[in-house]
Structure 1
Amino acid sequence: MQGEDTLDLHLPDGFLAWAEGEAPEFTRTTSGDRQGTAPHWLSPSEDTPSRPAFDDLLDGIAGWGPVRTPAGTFHLVPARLERDLRLISRWMNDAAAAAFWELSGPPSVTEDHIRAQLAADGRSVPCVGVLDGRPMSYWEVYRADLDPLARFYPARPHDTGLHLLLGEVPDRGRGLGGLLLRAVADLVLARRPSCARVIAEPDIRNTPSIAAFLTAGFRFAAEVDLPGKTGALMVRERSLLHVL
């Protein structure tokens, strides 16, 4: 139940037209499509669309593949400490991120946080979000129904939770948070047929984050008293997928 920080309020050009009817495409691109190739910072053996499903409880995030969004081709790639730690740690030491994630300090602080997930049973998968080949965000996709969070709200089987940090300051304040949250929530529901709801619990004080979730089609369900914070329970339901 870590904090998440989207830090954006404004919509990018073209977003309203997309929101009115042009959903992200969930068709995998081919090797001949430039936008469908592996992010440039991955080795050929790490080309996520061709790898076996990651051993997790989330229907194999490593095999979900890239999706097209109005901002470009987006790819959730399971984090690897040897490749990603320095970058993620730098993001966590940004003042705005540190206020809610509370992972500032030496890289070992972030390493301990990520390693705990990698060493667990697969109920939470830390990921790097890659937009048009550029790593630009940190995500945690987790089984909310198997998380301690489930003690604080009426959880349903296979509820899937999201945490998001936009890592680079230039990516904030221009609508990317809401746009990517919508795309990833749609991706979760497309790749996890057993999941009926996507859940989030941003800090109630983090109004930019809450605004981004609302932009992404989540609804505010309740305030929840969690260890260390009061959370805003945000819910996106499969039954309302084509309405919100």
Structure 2
Amino acid sequence: MPPTDARPATDPGSEDTLDLHLSDELVALIGAGENTATTDGDLLDAVASWGPVTTPVGTFHLVPVRLERDLPLITRWMNDPAVAAFWELAGPETVTATHVGAQLDGDGRSVPCLGVLDSTPMSYFEIYRADLDPLARHYPARPHDTGIHLLLGGVADRGRGVGTALLRAVADLALDHRPRCTRVIAEPDLRNTPSVSAFLSAGFRFSAEADLPDKRAALMVRDRAHRHVL
């Protein structure tokens, strides 16, 4: 789910993904990001430079969103009933554009990305500074806590461990490239059992429940100190 204001925490698509492949322009963009990204003044330490990485399900890369290129695809994913039930962003492209554009036009505390697996865009991630998000009011935040939101775009990628593999990979990327970050945070809807299960399987631990305006969330935490044993 997108970040939202919340009340204090309690206790401490039906269509498959289009067969899309990276265009020459997108490949060039990735390379340019890796060569020019800098951590100076960057609240998330240059997400564009984090990948690619090898995962059990293929080679994975986080590619920062460009609305003019990615809006139709992300909008289609947001209108998948299984996604819309928790993201609540179904509707025309303007709905998605408003949500994603607010991050792109912001101060960099949240970076929307396509998740590209073996050259196919197949997921949407938001990498965000949990300690600078309204969520930080409702759990004992630490400086540089990094948050993750995820949706899988295609039905074929759900329920077979892909989400778990990508969540582990992205959490590892955050810990590898953000040395000041000691924890990766997530807050899936408590009713979204597959999502909570995927986080647990990816090495996150259940920390608490939080009452947010639009959901009761499961606060999930992956600790740097335990990353190699979970």
What's the TM-score bracket when you normalise by the shorter of the two chains? Answer: 0.7 to 0.9
Match of 2:82 among 96, 101, 107: 96
Taking the aligned partners of 2:96 and 2:119, their CA distance within structure 1 comes to 23
Contact 1:221 1:232 in 2 (8 A): yes
- Identity among equivalent positions (%) equals 67
Aligned with 2:114: secondary structure? strand
Query: Taking structure 1 as the reference length, what is the TM-score of the superposition?
Result: 0.83
Residue 49 of structure 1: CA displacement?
A: 2.5
Give the structure 2 partner of residue 16 of structure 1: none
**Structure 2 unmatched runs, 5+:** 4-12, 14-20
Give the structure 1 partner of residue 168 of structure 2: 182
Contact 2:30 2:48 in 1 (8 A): no
Residue 45 of structure 1: CA displacement?
A: 4.3
Give the structure 2 partner of residue 223 of structure 1: 209
Give the structure 1 partner of residue 35 of structure 2: 50
Give the aligned residue type for 2:170.
Answer: V
Contact 2:144 2:180 in 1 (8 A): yes
User: 1:1-244 counterparts in 2 under 5 A?
Assistant: 2=2, 39-40=22-23, 42-47=26-31, 48-53=33-38, 56-244=42-230
Taking the aligned partners of 1:84 and 1:51, their CA distance within structure 2 comes to 22
Taking the aligned partners of 1:65 and 1:208, their CA distance within structure 2 comes to 26
The count of corresponding residues between Structure 1 and Structure 2 is: 211
Contact 1:40 1:133 in 2 (8 A): no
Taking the aligned partners of 2:135 and 2:213, their CA distance within structure 1 comes to 9
Give the structure 2 partner of residue 22 of structure 1: none
Taking the aligned partners of 2:29 and 2:207, their CA distance within structure 1 comes to 42
Taking the aligned partners of 2:161 and 2:184, their CA distance within structure 1 comes to 20
Residue 64 of structure 1: CA displacement?
A: 1.3
**Structure 1 unmatched runs, 5+:** 8-37
